[in-house]
Structure formats: structure tokens, C-alpha cells
Structure 1
Amino acid sequence: MNEFTLKKLEFDKIKTRLINECSSGLGKEVAKTIEPITDLELIQVWQQETSEGVLIRRYEPQIPLGGIVDIGIQIRKAEIGGILEAEEFLKVFDILSASRKLKRFFLNNKKQYSCPRMELLSGQLNIIKELEDEIEKIISSDGEVRDTASSTLLNLRRKMVTLQNRIKEKLDSLVKSDNSNKFLQDSIITIRGDRYVVPVKQEYRNQVPGIIHDQSGSGATLFIEPMAVVELNNDLRKTHSDERDEILRILSELSAKMAQYTEDLKMNLDILSKIDFIFAKARLSEKLDAIEPKIVLERKITIKRGRHPLIPFNEVVPLTISLGEDFGLLVITGPNTGGKTVTLKTVGLFVLMAQSGLHIPADIGSSIGIFQKVFADIGDEQSIEQSLSTFSSHMTNIVKILEQADDFTLVLLDELGAGTDPSEGAALAISILEFLKAKNTKLIATTHYSELKTYAFNEPKVQNASMEFDIKTLRPTYKLLIGVPGKSNAFEIAGRLGLQDEIVLKARSLISQDEKDVAELIENLESNRLTSELSRQEAENKLKLVEEKLVSIKQQETKINASADNIIRKAQEEALQIIKKARKESEDIIKEIRQLAKEEIIKAENKALDLKKELENKEDKLTSKVLKGPKVTGQKPKDLKIGQEVFIPKLNQAGTVIAEPNNNEELQVQTGIIKITVKLNEVQMVERKKEITQRGIGKIVSNKSESIKTEFDFRGSNVEEAIPLVDKYLDDAYLSGLSQVYLIHGKGTGVLRNYIREMLKKHPHVKSMRTGGFDEGGSGVTVVELKR
């Protein structure tokens, strides 16, 4: 893409915002290289990655992107056989840890969404647990080699501590001695050149035998190593040297081990930088309230309610524009500061962003074609140094554009033909439009020349457009009207600003009648066509909404009918099983009767008849219970409350009210697992016997009391899994009459604990809660007191 155009369309500012959204230096480096491309498949992949990043952030705001640092220098050092410092291994450890956590995040979590591109990318990360564990074992979090890195190092450091203690003991006895106090400047022990020394006054230097290592700036104090500790200091220095050698050996071995994985580490760096970059694009998309545009191979543009990304959201006026379908050239007229230039920049910037894999701030349904080249001549480029006027500077740029433009090019020209004689400028502008039209170049141009309005009206594949102007307020509305040529409104504005009427009338008379007639004819024709087009579009939109509503209603009706059929069929199957069971019982009884003694036959027959009658009653009762549902009053219900039972005759089902009737007398009822919306006159009241209800609740409470425990352990669950589990447990505990329960969530990062406690604050059964005591599990347990 042309660098001059990228700058004119302010693509560099979008790139800067993208760089600032990156979490790591690696991601920022990738963002700096972003440029528009022309490969359709690659653009679609980039757009999909951005969309997946937005989707993941919507479901998983806590993405483990920490620890992504640049270890390129450390990798090269290991490759050539160099030895890394202990602090450098911390960076390597961060990369290894970040790679492992990100791969686990993408591949191990149970997700409610699909992100194939991100899973493919993260799946290529190399988990080098052996090296990660080795670094953690050897290097501490503050960048030092651990004592336990080797037994030799541990022994050396223990020896150093012993020697230091012995030296301090000897020097302490010297410092605290009454005889030595007058010799010393201060009663302290200090270090000079890795040697323990004491500060001695200059005049008593001969009273403290030893080696002088330093003196104060004034010369009044000498720092002397007493002879009593010289040998101990020598041993300590030798041990220090041995410790450095051992550390060097340990780091050398660790560097050699790291060298075995340099290719894997390079691949991880590349993938991590891309992942950070993708989530930066996602964050930018969220802040711009942007969408993924449809990318098409044809040179067509459709923007629905597009908003310039660099204008504040509360100030920008949405832009709806199309190019390349019915017309390839668009001529925009209108007053200065009316939004013509912003329109050009918005279209051009959207093309650059879309071809760079970035979302555009517009409504769904927007599409962007692929252009091999994008050129823009926008703004005043006059140059004093180069002796170029405004017209000359524009022409210089336009000449370059005309040399390179073809049918794969988008050209944006601001104030075409301006800066010179109006008649010559208009003629030149029309000629330029003709030249680009012949090349099938897609073009949007702004102008003030009325001749270009006439040209756009008469020429096929060329369309007029204008920026709306409110003559009452004398202010532009910044709305683009395609198909309507703009008016300068110079006479109207001058009159409203106080210019004398005779001057305005005189000015009107100086315009030729032909110009007046042509302008009025074009305006009327285009206005009528716009009205017809708007009416047609409005009718199509309404028809589309009606069709969508009908489809939705049919789908809901089909779903409800299918659910009702399933419920009835299931009830019939259960009733059939009950009847079969009753019939088997009857057959067993008859068999029993036949085995009775002859003298008991009359008595047996009577008994059989009684039993048969009993079974018939039982069968009728069970069948009625299964198929007919609960007893109903047949009256239209009044003052229905949530939780109240009703009967729906058309479905032959009973249900529970889950939402009270609205203004349309519609309410929501749940029948089994199905939620349906019915009219108030389609339901009937249900009578329930209190004693049966009481026995059912008593039985539930009894069962719950036998099985419920006072503690619930849900460690290992994520937030989405834990919340419904805890909610059900609290319901069971409340029903079983428990007054206090223990929720075991573990300590971890605290995320699960915080979400659960937020839920507890709003839970109807919870009276209070607190953190577990020392003997109750501490912060890993929340103690909940239930309401009675």
C-alpha cells in the first residue's frame, strides 16, 4: 500500500492504538509490522482470529497472558554455548510457564464456544516441563541460585556462614573490649574488599595490629583487619571463590540443557507473540464496538452505520454508503465542514483495517472488497519550499495516481479540481472522472462544482450524493444522502445571516436560466428517486421482519407441539405399564382362587369378584391420574402468583406459574422441563389437598435430613460448575433444617471464593457468612449460617 495514503487516512494512529493494547513487548513488535494485504484467504483467517479473540474474552475475561517476555538474546546465547546468568533463567522460566498455562487454557477447559484457530495456534506450543522444573529447582524467585541446587553449594554456603559467625565473634569481642574502645572510631564491624574490618583512629594505628584496607576521606579513620581474623578472612574469601565456581558450573549445565530446546523455545516465542497480538486486536475491537466485516473478492464496499474510529463515540455521526454494486463512481457535494472529508477517510480507513485483519466499527451486514491499491488525495499539500500552490500540489499527486490506477484500485479525491478557475477546474475534474471510469477504477470524489452534479446524473455507473444541511439552523447534519445532489445554499445562508434582500435577488438573477432549470430538474428527479427508494427499502424491511416473525412463531409452535406430544406419549406409556401390572396381579389372584378347596369355592368366587372390582377402581384411578391431570376448577384464574399450580386444557398438562401475567394477559408456565407462554384464559385453577402436600414435603425433608452433610467440598470446580452445585446444596441443607454449613472451595487464587461469596450475599437461604477459623480450614472455607 502507498505510504502517503496510509498516512493521509491515519492508519498509523490505528496502529498506535493497537500497539498500546498489546500486553507484551513481543506482541507490540508484531503490531508494528501490521499492514493491509490482498490475500483473501489470509485476510479471512486474520479476521476469524480477531473474532475468536473477542468471543474468548466475552466468556473468559481472565486470560493467562502474563510472563510473555522476549528471550531472544538468551536463546542465542545458549545456542553458541554461552552461560546464562541466574536472572536470565527467570525470563526463560516465565516463557515456559506462560506456554504451559496458555496451552492448558485452550485445550483443557470445557468451553461453551468454539475457537478452532486459537486452539490450533495454542496447540503448537511446546510444553518443556523438564526444563521448567529444573529452572524452578535451581533458581529462586529473586534470581539467585538456590542453596539446594547442589550438595557442594549447600556445604560451601554453610561453611561461609560458619566462618562469618566466627569472624564476627572475634571482632565483637574486640569491639566490646574496654581496652579497645579508645582505639576505635565507632564500635562497629564493617567490610572492605570482602574482608571484615574495624574502624581505628589514625593516632592509634599501632595499637591494633593488622592489615590496613582503607581509610576515610579525612584520613582520621583507618579500616584495619585485625591479625586475629586474617586467616579466617582468607578461608572465607577462598570459600567465596569456590562458591562462585560451583555456581558457574551449575549455570553452565543448565545453559547446556536449555540449548537442547532452543528451536522449541523459538517456536513458543513466535506463537505467544501472535496470541498476544490477536487479543490486542480483540480488545481494540471491543473498545471500538466493532464487528467482523464480510470480506469479498469483488471490489465492492457496503458500510452500514459506520463510525470513524478516531472520532469520539458520542460525537460521530454513523455513515451508510455503498460502492461497486450499482455504481463505481460516487460524486459527493455539500457545504464546507459538512463531513465530506470524514466520509472519504472513513471509507478508506475501513478498507485498510479490514485488509489488515482488524474489525471495523459498523453494523452487521457491512462488507469490504479487496483492493490491490488504495490512493487518497486529501487535504491541502501546498509547499512553500517547492513553490507549489494548492492546485499544483493536488495535481502532482493526482498525476501519480492516474499512472498507477486500474480496476483493482480504490481512489479517494477531496475537492477535485479546486484551487483554479472554476470552469477549467470543473472541466478538468470531469475529464479525470472519465479517465478513471474507463479504467473501471472505484472512485469517491468530493466537489463544489455543479457541472459534476450534472455529469453524475447523466452518466451510467456514476451516482450523486450530498451531505445534508439544515437550512433552519445553518448547520450541517453530517448525514450522507446517496442519490441526492447537494446544494450550495449560498443565497439562503447569506439571507439568513442578514445580507440585504436586494443583493441576494440581484445575485439570483445573475445565474443563467439554464443552470437554474438543470439544477432544479436534477434535484427533483433525484429527490423523487430517493423517496421511492426509501419507500421500497422500508417496505422490504417490514416484509422481512414479518417473515422472520412468522418463521419464529412456526418454530415455537412446532417445538411446543412436539413437546406436548412427547409428554402425552410418555404419560400413555406409563399408564399402559400400570394397566399391564394390574392385569398381571389379577391373573395371579385368579390362579390363587383355582387352587382353593372345593368347599371354599363360593367364598373364593365372592372374594375374586371383590378383588376384581378393587382392581378396576384402582385401574380407573391410576389412568385418570396419569392422563387427565389434577382436578381443576374450570374458572378463569385471578391474581395468579409465581409458584401457583395451573392446568392447561389444550395440552392436557399441569404446570407451575414462573412469571405473572403481563399487560397482554400472557403468563409463563413451566410444565416439566418446558417453559411456555399462554393466555390467561387458556389456564384453569388447580385444587390440591393440603394433607397430601404436607406429606410430600415431610417426606422430602425426611429424605434430605438423612443424606445431607454439614460440609460441601467443591474444590477443583470452575466458577460455572460450582455456582449451580452450591445453590442446590444450600437448598437441600435448608430443607433438611441445618443451621450452619461449611463450603470448602480451597485457597488457590481466590477467584472461586470471591464468586461464591458474591452469590451468597444474594441467596435467599443465607443469613450470614464468615471465613473459616484456624481449625476450620482458614480462607479455604466459608462458614454459612442459614435462615431458620
Structure 2
Amino acid sequence: MNPKVLKTMEYHKIIDYLTNFTGTELGRDLVKKLMPSADLDEVKVLLQATDEAYKVDRLKGAPPFGGIVNIAPAVKRARIGGTLSPHELHGIAGTLYGGRRVKRHLAAIHDEDAIPWLHRLTEELSDQKPLEDAIKRCIDDNADVLDTASPLLAQIRRELRGGESRIREKLETMIRSSNVSKMLQDQLITIRNDRFVIPVKAEYRSYFGGIVHDQSGSGATLFIEPESIVAMNNKLRETRLAEEREIEVILQKLTALVGEQVEPLLYDCDVLAELDFVFAKARLAREMKATLPRMNDRGFLKLKKGRHPLIPMEKVVPIDVELGNTYSSIIVTGPNTGGKTVSLKTIGLLSLMAMSGLFIPAEDGSQMCVFDAIYADIGDEQSIEQNLSTFSSHMTNIISILKNMSPKSLVLLDELGAGTDPAEGSALAIAILEHIHALGCRMVATTHYSELKAYAYNRKGVINASMEFDVNTLSPTYRLLIGIPGRSNAFAIAERLGLSAEILEFARGEVKEEDLRVENMIASLEQNRTEAEQERETAGRLRREVEELRKRYEEDVEKLEQQRDKRIEKAENEARAIVDKARSEAETIINDLRRLAMEEGASVKEHKLIAARKALDEAAPDQRRKAPAVRKALKQRQIGSGDEVMVYSLNQKGHVVELAGKEAVVQLGIMKMKVSLDDLELIQQQPAAKPAQRTVTSVKRTRDDSVRTELDLRGSNLEEALIEVDRFLDEAFLGNLGQVYIIHGKGTGILRTGIQDYLRRHKHIKSYRLGNYGEGGTGVTVAELK
């Protein structure tokens, strides 16, 4: 990309702004090298990376880049055998640890929401945990070598501490002595040239033996090493030298470990730099409220509410631009200070940003093109040194553009043809525009010449545009209007400023009739556009109101349905609670009656108590009942002979034996009864029999069929009772019942004894017993079937 264009579009300011969002020196170095790309595939990959980083930053925040430094110089020095310092080794360990944190952060997000590009990049980070641990075992967080780095170093440092302690004790004893303390400037111990000394007054130098290592600025104090500790200081110095040699050995070993991993470490630097760079682009997008543009290489550009990124958001006026579809060139006319140049720079800078893999400050759905080059002639480039006028400067630049441009280039021209005679300037401008348009370039040009309005109107693929101007306020609105040429507005401005009507009338008379018609036409177009925008805004407002009303209606309906369901549920729960309470009270009364009957010898019919309990059970509301509409639909299906049906009034299943008008004869267990068709619900239709074949029908009884579980024999003699018991047990066995109740009453016990003897010998009976408390006691025999 032409460096001059990058400077004209202020691309470097975007780069500087982007640098502020990097977290490492590695990322900053990569940002400074960022340049627009003319390769569509490469741009798409760059934007995909930015999009994934933007998603990560929005969902979980950017990964932590703390502790990551540029270790490339240290690693390269390790490769050639140079010994690394503790600080450099500490930086390598911190970078390895930071890389692992970044990798964990992105891997966790990838498991929840796929980020394939970032995940693939982080997977390329090498596993250097052993090297990191080796460095951290020897170097602490302050980049100092630890005592535990080697056994010899630990021993040396113990000797150092012991030697220093002995010297301090010796000197402490000395300075507390009354003979010595009077010769000291201060009673303290200090260090000069790595040797312990004490501050002695200068006048006592001849009385105080030892070696002078330093003196104060005034010369009043001498820092003297007493003779008694010279040998001890020498020993301490030798120990320190031994410490330095051992530290050097440790650093060389760690450097060798780094040297074994040079290539992976350098590649890790590149990966971490790329990750920091990508997340800087994501944070810039968030700061600018930018969006992901759709990219193409067919010369199509569509900006929706595009904003210049270097103008404060509260001041910038968004523009809508479409280029490369029905028209490939836009001619923008209008007065100065209307925003024409800003619009040109917005189009150019946003194109450069998109081609660099950056989001653009525009609404979703904006489309940008990858151009092979962007050329611009913007601003006054008059040069005194080269003795070039404004016109000459512009022409020099335009000639260079015409030589280098191609059909896939974007050309931006500001004030085309300015700086010379209007007649010649407009003719030259039309010729240049025609040449660029004929080549197929995408072009946006601004001008003052009214002749270019007619050129844009008559030329296919070229369209007029203008910067909106509010005559009422005498100020530009900075809105770009596509399809409407600009007006001078000179007469309207002069009139509002108070110029006399006589002068204005004379001026209007000097304007050519043709030019006047053009101005009137433009004014009419502007009025129509204003009315259309107002109507569109009204229609949009009404549509939003309708959408809001529809949404509120749906919410109200949903709320009413929820309230209805809750009230129905509440009513059923209350009804169930009432029945439960009544059942509890009834059980209490029944138990009291039984107790009284036993105490007073009175007789209470068990079958009546059982019937009362059953009535209470049936009184509970059934929440599982089918909806009325479903029952009605099932009723409407035609019922035929042999069909399985449900009798609503009895809550029993049965089979239709025959139909008799509006009634049907239904087999319910061993009983047959007539039931109204309205009281029946079809469960399963009987399959139609084939006329030419014999059919064999088998009936299988299940637990769900309507079979009695109780047999009341009170009042019967033993012979009649046994016949009924035999029939009842056969029916229960066919119905797959597990347990039945035979009510024979208490009485004399003859009926109970005879029935139990019969049950003992019956083939279907597994066991039997008398009823428990609540089941009828000795008046009921409970039989369990096989």
C-alpha cells in the first residue's frame, strides 16, 4: 500500500490507538508492523481471528497476558552460548507460565463455544513445564538465585551468614567499649567496598589502627576497617567469590536447558505475540463500537451509518454509502465545510481498516471490498520548496494515480479541478473522471463545478451526491445524500443574512435560465427527499408501536393463561384438601362406631362402611381427566358392536354387545347393562372381520378391566354362598387380580368357617386371612390369588 495514502488517511493514528490495547511488548511490535492486505482470503482469516477474540472478550474477558515478556533476545543469546542473567531466566519462566494461563483460558471457552482459529493457534504452544519448573526452583520472584539452587550454594551462604554474624558481634563489642566509642562519629556498623567498617572521627586517625576505605564528603569522618577484623573480612570476601562462582555454574546449567528449547521458545513468542495482537484488535472494536464487515473482491462497498473513527462518537455524523453495484463512481458537490473531505477520508480509512483485519465503526450488515490499492488526492499540497501551486500539486498527484491505478483500485479525489480557471478546470475534471470511470475503478470525487452535476446525471454508472445543508440554520448537517446534487445556497444564505431584495432580484436575473432550472430541480428533489424521509420515519414509528402492542398483547394472553391454570390448580387443590379433611373426619367417625359396637355389642354393617369410604374416594377431583374438547372428539367417533368403551357415569371399561338406538348394551365384567351413547367414550374399535375367513377371537383379561374385588354374601346360606364364591374366584383369576375381599359378616361364624374351608382346597387360592382393622375385621376374609 502506498505510504502516502496511509499518511493522508491518518492510518498511523489508528495503529497508535491500537497499540494502547496491547498487553505485551510482543503484541506492540506486531501492531506496529500491521499493514492492509490485498488478499481476500488473508483478510477473511484476519477478520475471523478478530471476531473470535471479540466473542471471547465479550463472554469471558480477554486472557491474562501478565508476566509475558519478549524473551527472543535472551533465547537467541542462549543459542550461541551466552550465559543468561537471573532476570532473563525469570522472564523466560514468567512467559512460559503466562502462555500456559492463556492456553487454559481459551481452551475452557472453546469447550463451551467453539473458537476454532484461536484454539488451533494456542494448541501450537509448546509444553515447557519442565523448563519452567527448573528455573523456578533456582530463581525466585525477585529474580534472585535461591539458596536451594544447589547444595554447595546453600553451604556457602550459610558460611556467609555465619561470617557476617561473627564480624558484627566483634564490631558491636568494639563500639560499645568506652575507649573506642569516644573516637566514633556514630555508634554504627556499615559497609564500604563489601567490607565491614565503622565511622571514626578524623582527629583520632592516628590513635585508631586499621585500613581506611572511605571518608565523608566533609572529611570529618573516616570509614575504617579495624585490624582485628581484617582477616575475617578477607575470609568473607573469599566466601563471596565462591558464591559468585557457584551462581555462575547454576546460571550456565539453566542457560543450557534454555538452549535446548530455542526453536519452540521462539515459536511460542510468535504465537503469544499473535494472540496479544488479536485481542488488542478485539478491544479496539469494543471501544469503537465497531462491527464485523462482510468482505468481497468484486468492487462492492456498502457502509451503513459509517463513522470516522478519529472523530469523537458524540460529534461524528454517520454516512450511508453504496458503491460498485448500480454505479461505480460518486460525484459529491456542495459548499465548503460541509463534510465532503471527511466523507472521503471515512470511506478510505474504513477500507484500510477492514483490509487490515479490523472491525469498522458502522452498523451490522456493512460490506467492504478488498482493493489492490487505494489512491487519494486530498487536501492542499502546495509546496514552496518545489515552487508548485495548489493546482500543480494536485495534478502531479493525479498523474501518478492515473499511471498506477487498476480496475480493482479505489480512487478518492478531493476538489477535482480546483486552483485554475473554472471553465478549463471543469473540462479537465470531466476528462479525468471519464478516464477513471472507463477503466472500471471505484471512485468518489468532490467538486464545486456545476458542470460535473450534469456529467454525473447523464453518465451511466455515475451518480450525484451532496452534503446536506440546513438553510434555516445556515449550517451544514454533514449528512451525505446519494442521488441529489449539491446546491450553492448562496441566494438563500444572503437573504437570511439581510441582503436587500433589490440586489437579490438583480443577481437572480444574471443567472442563466438553464442554471436556474437546475437549481429549482435540485430544490424540488430535496423537498421530495425530506418528505419521503419524514413519511418513512412516521411509518417506522407506527411499525414499532404496532410491534410493541403485539408484544404486549401476547404477554397479556400468556399471563392470563398462566393465571387461569394457577386458579384451576388452586381450586382443585382446595377441593382435594376439603375431601381429604372429610375423609379423615369420616374415618375417625367410622373407627368410633366400630369401637362403640365392640364395646356395647351393637352391630354395624361393614359393607355400608366400605361403601361410604369408596364414595369419599370418588369425591376427590381428578386432575388427569381429559379436556372436554378431547372427550367430545372421541365421542363423535362412531361406536360399534364389540368396541371397547369407557362408561363415564360408572368410571368402568367394558365391551359393546349390541346397539339399540341411542343406547348400547355393554358387558361390564359379569354384568350387562344398557347405557346411553352420550355416556360412552370409544377406547378401541373392534377390527372388521374378513368375510371369506374363519376368525377365532380370544379375550385376554388384564388388571385394567372392570372386575369386582369384593363379594358380599351376608344373608346367604352356605350352599348359595359357595356357588357365588366359586364364580367370583374364577372371575378374579381371569382378571389377574392379586387379592379379593369376601364379606360374610360376623354372626354365628358358620358362613365364615364354610367359606374358609372351601378356600383352603381351592386351586386358585394362595392364602387367606381375616380382615385387619379398617378392612372389616372378622366379618371379612381376604384371599390372595396365585
TM-score under structure 2 length normalisation: 0.69
Deviations 1:108-154 (A, max 9, x none): 35865332222222222223111111222111111211111122111
Q: Does 2:101 correspond to 1:113?
A: no
What is the alpha-carbon distance in structure 1 between the residues aligned to residue 221 and residue 314 of structure 2? 72
Aligned 8 A contact 1:306 1:320 in 2: yes
What is the alpha-carbon distance in structure 2 between the residues aligned to residue 228 and residue 238 of structure 1? 17
Aligned 8 A contact 1:184 1:200 in 2: yes
Q: 1:499 is aligned with what amino acid?
A: L
What is the alpha-carbon distance in structure 1 between the residues aligned to residue 110 and residue 281 of structure 2? 24
Give the equivalent residue in structure 1 for 2:224.
224
What is the alpha-carbon distance in structure 1 between the residues aligned to residue 218 and residue 547 of structure 2? 95
Structure 2 vs 1, CA of residues 388 and 305 (structure 1 numbering), >3 Å: closer, same or farther?
Answer: same
> How do residues 749-760 of structure 1 correspond to structure 2 at under 5 angstroms?
none
Give the equivalent residue in structure 2 for 1:373.
373
CA deviation after TM superposition for structure 1 residue 188, in Å: 2.8
> How do residues 693-732 of structure 1 correspond to structure 2 at under 5 angstroms?
none
CA deviation after TM superposition for structure 1 residue 183, in Å: 3.9
Give the equivalent residue in structure 1 for 2:345.
345
Aligned 8 A contact 2:304 2:364 in 1: yes
CA deviation after TM superposition for structure 1 residue 200, in Å: 3.8
Q: Does 2:431 correspond to 1:431?
A: yes
Q: 2:505 is aligned with what amino acid?
A: L
Q: 2:301 is aligned with what amino acid?
A: I
Moved more, 245-254 or 221-230: 221-230
Aligned 8 A contact 2:38 2:373 in 1: no
CA deviation after TM superposition for structure 1 residue 621, in Å: 4.7
Structure 2 vs 1, CA of residues 323 and 161 (structure 1 numbering), >3 Å: closer, same or farther?
Answer: same
Counterpart secondary structure, 1:179: helix
What is the alpha-carbon distance in structure 2 between the residues aligned to residue 322 and residue 54 of structure 1? 27
Moved more, 181-190 or 61-70: 181-190
Deviations 1:537-560 (A, max 9, x none): 88998999999999999x99xx99
> How do residues 322-401 of structure 1 correspond to structure 2 at under 5 angstroms?
322-401=322-401
Counterpart secondary structure, 2:141: coil
Give the equivalent residue in structure 2 for 1:191.
191
Counterpart secondary structure, 1:436: helix
Q: Does 2:277 correspond to 1:277?
A: yes
Structure 2 vs 1, CA of residues 551 and 53 (structure 1 numbering), >3 Å: closer, same or farther?
Answer: farther
Unaligned runs of 5+ in 1: 564-605, 630-788
Structure 2 vs 1, CA of residues 233 and 627 (structure 1 numbering), >3 Å: closer, same or farther?
Answer: farther
Give the equivalent residue in structure 2 for 1:156.
156
Q: 2:379 is aligned with what amino acid?
A: G
Aligned 8 A contact 2:487 2:522 in 1: no
Give the equivalent residue in structure 1 for 2:42.
42
Q: 1:478 is aligned with what amino acid?
A: Y
Structure 2 vs 1, CA of residues 426 and 138 (structure 1 numbering), >3 Å: closer, same or farther?
Answer: same
Counterpart secondary structure, 1:51: helix
What is the alpha-carbon distance in structure 2 between the residues aligned to residue 552 and residue 482 of structure 1? 36
Aligned 8 A contact 1:405 1:439 in 2: no
Aligned 8 A contact 1:454 1:522 in 2: no
Give the equivalent residue in structure 2 for 1:403.
403
Deviations 1:376-425 (A, max 9, x none): 11111111111111111111111111111221011111111111111111
CA deviation after TM superposition for structure 1 residue 49, in Å: 1.6
| Greater Cα radius of gyration, structure 1 or 2 | 2
What is the alpha-carbon distance in structure 1 between the residues aligned to residue 352 and residue 218 of structure 2? 70
Deviations 1:293-345 (A, max 9, x none): 11112101100111111111111111011011110111111111111111111
Q: 1:313 is aligned with what amino acid?
A: M
Give the equivalent residue in structure 2 for 1:142.
142
What is the alpha-carbon distance in structure 1 between the residues aligned to residue 186 and residue 543 of structure 2? 94
Q: 1:180 is aligned with what amino acid?
A: V
Aligned 8 A contact 1:484 1:523 in 2: no
Counterpart secondary structure, 2:181: coil
Give the equivalent residue in structure 2 for 1:648.
none
> How do residues 19-98 of structure 1 correspond to structure 2 at under 5 angstroms?
19-61=19-61, 63-98=63-98
> How do residues 605-624 of structure 1 correspond to structure 2 at under 5 angstroms?
621=620, 623-624=622-623
Q: Does 2:122 correspond to 1:122?
A: yes
What is the alpha-carbon distance in structure 1 between the residues aligned to residue 310 and residue 135 of structure 2? 46
Structure 2 vs 1, CA of residues 498 and 44 (structure 1 numbering), >3 Å: closer, same or farther?
Answer: same
Q: 1:241 is aligned with what amino acid?
A: L
Give the equivalent residue in structure 1 for 2:176.
176
What is the alpha-carbon distance in structure 1 between the residues aligned to residue 267 and residue 549 of structure 2? 53
Structure 2 vs 1, CA of residues 429 and 550 (structure 1 numbering), >3 Å: closer, same or farther?
Answer: farther
Structure 2 vs 1, CA of residues 166 and 624 (structure 1 numbering), >3 Å: closer, same or farther?
Answer: closer
What is the alpha-carbon distance in structure 2 between the residues aligned to residue 472 and residue 540 of structure 1? 26
Deviations 1:270-308 (A, max 9, x none): 111111111111111111111001111210110011111
Give the equivalent residue in structure 2 for 1:321.
321
Moved more, 331-340 or 223-232: 223-232
Aligned 8 A contact 1:466 1:485 in 2: yes
Counterpart secondary structure, 1:337: coil
Structure 2 vs 1, CA of residues 216 and 490 (structure 1 numbering), >3 Å: closer, same or farther?
Answer: closer
CA deviation after TM superposition for structure 1 residue 237, in Å: 1.1
Structure 2 vs 1, CA of residues 508 and 154 (structure 1 numbering), >3 Å: closer, same or farther?
Answer: same
Aligned 8 A contact 2:355 2:370 in 1: yes
Q: 1:275 is aligned with what amino acid?
A: L
Give the equivalent residue in structure 1 for 2:703.
none
Aligned 8 A contact 1:185 1:199 in 2: yes
Structure 2 vs 1, CA of residues 311 and 457 (structure 1 numbering), >3 Å: closer, same or farther?
Answer: same
Give the equivalent residue in structure 1 for 2:263.
263
Q: 1:239 is aligned with what amino acid?
A: T
Structure 2 vs 1, CA of residues 551 and 327 (structure 1 numbering), >3 Å: closer, same or farther?
Answer: farther
Aligned 8 A contact 1:457 1:522 in 2: no
Q: 1:501 is aligned with what amino acid?
A: A
Q: 2:500 is aligned with what amino acid?
A: Q
CA deviation after TM superposition for structure 1 residue 502, in Å: 2.3
The share of aligned pairs that are identical, in percent, is 45
What is the alpha-carbon distance in structure 2 between the residues aligned to residue 395 and residue 478 of structure 1? 28
Give the equivalent residue in structure 1 for 2:475.
475
Moved more, 50-59 or 354-363: 50-59
Between the two proteins, the alignment pairs up a number of residues equal to 597
CA deviation after TM superposition for structure 1 residue 194, in Å: 2.1
Structure 2 vs 1, CA of residues 489 and 223 (structure 1 numbering), >3 Å: closer, same or farther?
Answer: closer
> How do residues 230-269 of structure 1 correspond to structure 2 at under 5 angstroms?
230-269=230-269
Give the equivalent residue in structure 1 for 2:302.
302
Structure 2 vs 1, CA of residues 528 and 228 (structure 1 numbering), >3 Å: closer, same or farther?
Answer: closer
Deviations 1:441-475 (A, max 9, x none): 11111111111111111111111111111111111
What is the alpha-carbon distance in structure 2 between the residues aligned to residue 109 and residue 457 of structure 1? 55
Structure 2 vs 1, CA of residues 546 and 323 (structure 1 numbering), >3 Å: closer, same or farther?
Answer: farther
> How do residues 764-783 of structure 1 correspond to structure 2 at under 5 angstroms?
none
Aligned 8 A contact 2:83 2:251 in 1: yes
Counterpart secondary structure, 1:130: helix
